[in-house]
Structure 1
Amino acid sequence: MSDLSAFPITGKWPAQHPDRIQLYSLPTPNGVKASIMLEECGLAYEPHRVDFATNDQLTPEFISLNPNNKIPALIDPDGPGGQPLTLWESGAILIYLAEKTGKFLPQDAAARYHTIQWLMWQMGGVGPMMGQLGFFHKFAGKEYEDKRPRDRYVAESRRLLGVLDRHLEGKDWIMGSAYTIADIAVFPWVRNLIGFYEAGELVGYADFANVDRVLKAFVARPAVQRGLLIPAPPKAQD
């Protein structure tokens, strides 16, 4: 039995199964990258909900694991060399889990780096741009009379969708016939853009048939469907 008591975060979120990967997350586009990957790989893990409504991400316990106070983060009790490993940043988590399991990251060197290239494209472009669009379209930023900030992120999100749509022409997935961590990184953000952010019409999503085709294939995967709901909301009290 693994002992995770040395990690302060387990004081706030006790590990019921300390021999499993401990995931600290929320079902946001970045958060579900980790839960979907864990589901796809079939790894045993224990999810813990980091609730933004109560600022869990700002507590000393969470910051002890991730000083950048963002989700997701994890502890793998069976990390490299059999020692516990703590990790944060969704892209780093995807690469780590792919290497740990030998899944969803090509072994061929060129294909491997091209997969990582698209992962970095999501992290450097898709996530930040679509996230800002969400702020200016749905959240507090929508009250700003000056629509130039919103329109900047609309234009950039549309440009990124165009890049992806052209790349997906004639392909099943971003890397062709192989489903990879690039897909796991990108498509939660596309789904969020047209779903939770309600910005599909704003960016002209109907123009990107290839993106929509692959998004539908992504969401149809059973592991994706499970991962999109993890961590689950707390049960209502009677």
Structure 2
Amino acid sequence: MRDRGGYNPESEYSPEEMERLKFLTDLFSRGLDSDSIIATHGTSLEVIQQAVKTGNIPGSTIKKSRRSFYHPPGCLYINLTPDAAQSLGLPKDQANSGGYGEDIAKRHYLLSKLGLDFSNSRYSSLATDLTGPFPDRTIDEALKQLKEMAPNLEKDQLEQLIREAESRKGVLLGLDKSIADQYQIQKAEGDDDGWYIEIPNGMPINFLAGLEPQGQQEWDYFENLQKALNI
């Protein structure tokens, strides 16, 4: 969504996409205070923008490998609210969706700026190494790997994009209690605090009951969207 005076979203989006924009803006207005929210999931603005086009929140694309990922690709990692865990007879969840949501937001921002598909597991792994809390690759190593996809990318440009990615904090999505009827909530292997649901084809956004931006960039996006939609 572009931020400019007199901007009319209807000139850019289809009627179906406009309805999704309005729905997501309404979720922004609600925040995460709804009693119907039983879990949260941290994600990026890029995923939100993709959901406007597809109507779905995608599952994880990163394969379990040398890093400690505890859920398979095509799944959505979630954190249960204390009340939800109790009502479902599940252990209390101590994890923080905002933490990994910020990691996702940084990774997706970097890949989108490089023109790379953030749903590609190879690219995601590379971006995680560059923007994650424990970077595994140097800038020079990354440039060698990116040479084929971004041959004109210079070292200082990549460093600048990584710095910009630091401003991304992500968006917390509140999942409605109806997900417990539609999906099996499963324990994340080897993770004392995490849970996941299998969504190989994505999770429709109508299973969301609220959302909350975690950083200024994300807040600005939704506030500008509200203004553009006159909400």
Q: For this structure pair, what is the TM-score category when the shorter chain's length is used for normalisation?
A: under 0.3
TM-score by length of 2: 0.25
* Relative contact order higher in (CA < 8 Å, ≥ 6 apart): 2
| Higher fraction of strand | 2
TM-score by length of 1: 0.24
